[in-house]
Amino acid sequence: MQGHNKAFMANPVQYLSRYTLTVRPPSNLQSPLRRLDLSDPAKVHQFDLRPNTWGSELIPFVPHPKTHRFGTQRPINAYFLDYRAEAVRVIPLGNDADYMFTPVMNGCYFGYGKGQATHVAGDYGRRDADKQEQAKTALGGAIALGFDSNPADADEFTIVGVRRPSGWTFYVQGHEMVYERFGRLQPCFDKGVGAGQILFEIKGLERG
């Protein structure tokens, strides 16, 4: 939407440090992403950031008339790593888009390795199963970066990937449970990177 897409693409870290970004899973009947075509894991989607009371929400991009003298709003081209209950999702991250989004997490595990990203549902497998090992298996035995979204650290997390010249970098935003008219950023804690930051970068493998 007007201004938000531009601000995000100009500086994703600054944007995520300021706005609570909500990404509701397509499986949620109230989600604006419910009609997203996820049949091809490698597909690049076009998104908009819609401002709301607590920050912004990821929605599909729909072409619209010019809204300012510089022309139509640019969509955000991005990969989407979906969530499925009791399942593991894997998508390749190539060079066709500069961003990646996941739905909000509260107990799931995110992993990256061999040019792929995986989303291990918090309820996948046995209750005592090691989600990191499950992610490693899903990525073909190699996991370079990982994050365990422990609800004790923040009620919800949004993970955003940004493709840079050096490769993919992933940022985690912690926030309170986002209700229809309520939500805010809050400190989220990474045992391996540094505690107390509202936004942090996944720099290495973390065991939850």
Query: What does the pLDDT read at residue 85?
Result: 84
Those residues with Cβ within 8 angstroms of residue 64's Cβ, 6 or more apart along the chain or in another chain: 72, 73
Instruction: Take residue 199 and report the two structure tokens written for it.
Output: 């936004």
Dump pLDDT digits (tens) for 166-197. 899 999 998 887 765 567 788 776 554 455 56
Least confident of 17-31, 48-62, 112-126, 173-187: 173-187
Question: pTM of the entire structure?
Answer: 0.88
Res 81 pLDDT > 60: yes
Alpha-carbon dihedral sign for residues 88, 97, 166, 55: negative
Phi, psi of 63 (to 5 degrees): -55, 140
- Three-state DSSP state, 52: coil
In the chain, the percentage of residues whose pLDDT exceeds 90 is 49
What is the average per-residue pLDDT within 81-87? 89
